[in-house]
Structure 1
Amino acid sequence: MDPLGTGDPLRLGPYRLLGVLGEGGMGKVYFAQDGAGRPAAVKVLRPELAHDRHLAQRFVREAQMAQAVTSKGVARVLGAQTEGGRLWIACEFLAGPTLDEAIRAYGPMDEASLRVLASALARTLQDIHVAGLIHRDLKPANIVLTSAGPRVIDFGIARPEHGLTLTTTGQIPVTPGYGAPEQVLGQRVGPPSDVFSLGAVLVYAAGGRRAFDGAHVAAVQYEVVHGTPDLSHVPPHLHPLIGPCLAKDAAARPTPALIAEAFVPPKGAERAWRQGPLASDIKTRESTVRQITVVPKSGGVSRRRLIGALAAGGGVLAAGGGGTAWWLMRGGDTGPGGTAKLGPFDIPPAVTTPEARILDPNKGEVALGIDAPELIPLWQVDGVADDSPPPKPIRDVIVVGRRGGGLAALSVVDGKERWKATGVDATGRYLSLDDQLVAAVGKNGALLTFVASTGEPKWTAPDAEARSVLAADDEAVYVVTKAGKLRSISREDAKIRWTVSSPVRLDTDIRPRGAASLGRLVLCAESGTILAVDTRDGRKAWTFESGAKVLFAPVINGDRVFFGGKNLTSRQLADGKEIWTTKPSKDAWDRPEAWSVPNVVDGAVYAMCGVFVQRVRRTDGALLWQSGSAIGDPKSPVLLQGTHAWILDVLPEVIMVSLEGGRSMLTYRPKGDVTGFNADGNRVFVMTKGGGLTALPVV
């Protein structure tokens, strides 16, 4: 939540506004409290849009739809102003995570919790239908889990069962994977459409994966209409209960009353909402709300107080009663290529990294080899493309290029495929956006994004004309176009921010890599030129010639950027001014060695210089230690996991080097040449020629 800004009202009706929960092209949602101190979520249409008759009608209609339902399973409408002045709707504020947040944070529900969820949602749908309405957008993001049970929010696209919609077919989007086949096809919908959505929600809650998936929105919608739902992660004995909800024929789906009866929870199952990590999460959010709302009635809420309360609460507040309405947060339309624009509540939080246990050689947990300990892999899989970029661990998955094309995300725990995207050109590289999304290049040059943990397609930039992705920061994703130009694509609305011709060649077969932060995009060209551009407009900020005819990626750490190559160099990110340069050592033939891509961690810079690992001080480049007997690949990255640095040997072998003095020992001999190498979560991932991927434990 953000504090109120210039132009924000202080009061609306009986509500004093305390902060901004979110905003979009059509309006804002405020966190508010009434005279008695009760919290509310107040949705406001922008004043300049109030004269748009169509939008005003939709706003009024949403208030009427929500007010018509008196079920305890929905967020109550507390008040509204739908005529004259600013149009607003005040809804009950629900302090709890949405269902999609809860599943991503704590995993799929156990059967008892699932039955509580299913039974409660079915009864709520029954109440909605008895009121003569159809919700039409039941999905995990529109279900808030509270201490009193699940609550349904957002009547932004609800409609009377026998009434006419205010929009033409196709104008109101169907959430991919949750809308019923008849909704996808633009046909008349009824209560069975909500039942289909409920079935899709229960599949996700029970297994953590969607019932219908695909590489892009059209593929997902095709699966909804023609495909078979994926129930592989749902307990088999629940298939007969959930499967009928997903029938293609609306008439074959059970009624909400039958569903509630079939899912009747066991005695005591309601305790699922009052204990465990989910209950703790809800209590934390409730406490945060109390801290924010318990203030003197005459005083406002300062930014410091808001930040302090939210930090103490440790969670994002979920606005009920349509506080995350699709049309309000998206400006009422779709993004480029017919996909939903990126919005503040659409991207799920990054999941927790499942860390592996660190092995203890003193307890016999490492096999003893002839020369040194040898590690037994945690798991090994096949099917990786030989031209795949290095594996990219992103919290609970590791992303690689698939043999046969596209991307695959494998579980870091056991290597099993979690999701795949067939419409991706993996050779164009892939990026992690805050560990929440994977950004990649589509086969047609579009920039595509997927939820990292689930593969759910998110926003798309179809006009990117991208050949490869370079880097990303908080504002944009930067790509090299097929014509060899630099292009910036906004992460807020997927629109092209700017396109510029580069002073260095970017259209060669060797794909450049970059890094972006603090207003600068830095890349190393094949010629050895280092180029930095201003991320606001793409204009050249600074450049210098490294003298290295090899492609090494820049590494940004704070306000500095580090390079390997001919020398190990640290420069100011803003203007490229040199801070220090460490010249290389010489080999047995008195030739200078090259430096590998550096890794900056905890005030030190690690890099290969020739065949040895060196650790230098970040501030001045002074040598702290050099590895002893390691014979590493001069181009190997230096990865830090546990108490060791991990590098590749030219043989090939994986070597770990102690961070306590640089002592090294051989740990693993892969079968085949190593083509990619990465590490995270106490695991080291080794990709080999022929399509193998191995996860090694950390000692």
Structure 2
Amino acid sequence: MPNPLVQPLRTDDPDRVGPFVLLGRLGGGGMGTVYLARSAGGRVVALKTVHEHLAREPEFRMRFRLEAEAARTIGTLHGATVVDADTQTVVPWLATEYVLGPSLTEAVRAYGPLAEPAVRALGARLAVALAGIHGAGLVHRDLKPSNVLITTDGPRVIDFGIARALGARRLTRSGQTVGTPAYMSPEQATGRDHEPPGDVFALGGVLVFAATGRSPFPGEEAADVLYRIRYGEPGLGAVPKGLLPTVSRCLAKAPEDRPRPEELAEAWGGGAADSEPDGFASLLPGPLLADIGRRAAGPWELRPPRRSARSWPPPPVGPPGGKSPGPSRRRLLLAGGGGLLALGAGGGVWAAVRSGDGERPRSAQPSRAPGMAPAPLWTYRGGAEATVVAVSEGVVVVAVGDEEEQRSVIGLDAGTGAVRWRQREHVVLAPAGAGLVARTQREYPLDNTLLSLSPRTGELRSFRGALGKLTVQDNDLVAVDEGAVYVSGQAKGRSRAIAAYTTGSGTRKWAAEVRAPDAVKSAVVTGGLLVCGMTHDVAAFGRDDGTVRWRRTVDDSLGGIDLHPRSVAAGRLHIGGNDVCTVDLTTGKVLWRFGAGPDPYNGGLTYFGVPAVHDGVVYATALVGHTVETQSNNVIALRASDGKLLWQYPLHTMAKTSPPVFFHDGVLFHDTGKVPQPLLAVDLRTHRPPWTFRSGLPDDHRPALDMNEGRTALVLADGRLHVSCGAAVVTVPATR
């Protein structure tokens, strides 16, 4: 029988980390501790913590942040799904799903080497996993038996503690080796770059262990092992003959002589055991299957011993002399049983998050000094002006180019910033296309058409049917949804029209005339309506048939009405312009106005940006004054029910009015339009910035391609702020 899976919590372990209650210890290693934990909703997770003194080291903190990003990127298919993480606290932590299976190390040591069919299936699935990891722009760099978990669904690859993005800078000093000696590649053993072929070499070693119970390069001392890897031959005498040719190729000394993961998957049958009634599980020995079954029941039967309840006194003010006593700490020993989430061997010492006697257990607290912005997760620097347009399918879609009519598109990995693809053709992303629709940039405008853009691959495809033949000289894309695109264009005579086309077949669903001379500037799809902003009016059309539901004059400004999905909430549409106007979406009735009338905001002469709604409050930028020099600009907060001014925050400089602000974790984020300081954060509780972010990029005073948009753009997605500043894109955590 293997050692018990979960060890009791120690008296100096915390009760909880972040939102998770700790149940017990799963293991430990060179850099910290892994706990079994449970969320408030009852989900069981493996929670990995980092020692505070290691987290103070910028290199180590960056490595842990990359681990969390890499784990998110690999996802459910090949690893352990990331449930939550906080890499910005004093004690960073990462919570992943609790994988119900032993490591390959535990399985082989407890139940013996796997049979050839099982090794073949294991190899096929691990090859598919590596192909996915490399396809995501990552290299694992520490693939070994303890980082492969065996489940009935197949193996899971874990512990990306020393993973690195392809092409990213090294986090180790020149000549320093990172990884586990017995499974290092020759190039890794000499301190050279470890690229995808290095992971293939490690895979060969993992399969030798699975088939024989031994590493192909055994040895007591690390130096001896590394020498054998570089100059010796692997020990393959006990490897089944059916596996020997392919495993030998994996262990070739020269990286170029090793097969690609896709070749390995094909050579080993691509995981053909899936055709069996029980798939991968049918190839595993009975005792190992029974072990997995026990683990499935274990977390719910777990009642780990707890420390005695005691009241925690308030922390002392401090001893005489003003020095505060530091918490007592004991060095932790490696926990037994192997651990469900093995810890990386990237150097340093791990320790539990704990407190000394008389000290309340601490949940992780922000490690930044007050006012210090979160550190960027990654930065992309290109040679031409860059504009973040959208984030979709894990890709940041960015328009690039120094001339409006000579721009194209690139896709950056949202987790690492690596370039996933480049579109060579000159195209312009449609502003209303959510990064999914572009138009061609041909010499003759009559030849320009709309194209579908795949955010995952960057591939451009022509639409079918009438939509594919539609030229965009006199037609503008105004909105998209899951099944249709909506285009505003010229109708007969001087009138304008709005039309809906299906994205699949390209057929026109309906067309509705818009009385002259109005043009549709913007639109939002909400419920069963397509709501369009025109020169002075807002009109609602039936989403499915184009019938006019209502039309209302709401603004007398000359710029036209700019609508946005974040301006819609609780059946109401909030509109900026010469005032802030709120319209009932069912009837078109104006419910309230703010800023104009007999008691104008700041004496009048104010232009209000596109509003955004959050938790019953409407937020907008307010530009007050006759000229740029005399403007006094603010972010204002209005009660959504009646438009009452709740509070405001001064911006001091010229402000962007579109797109509307973003919100995350109780903080408002505003795109300033300024390259040196492109982002403003305002705490919604204190109405003050929790920190100030500076890009570190000088303002070279180059003119913006669009004077209304400036040289910055901001998109919030999955808790990350993606900001373009001139020719760079910076991604930072959206944290308080």
Q: If the TM-score is normalised by the length of the shorter chain, which range does it land in?
A: 0.3 to 0.5
Pick the structure with greater CA Rg.
2
TM-score by length of 2: 0.40
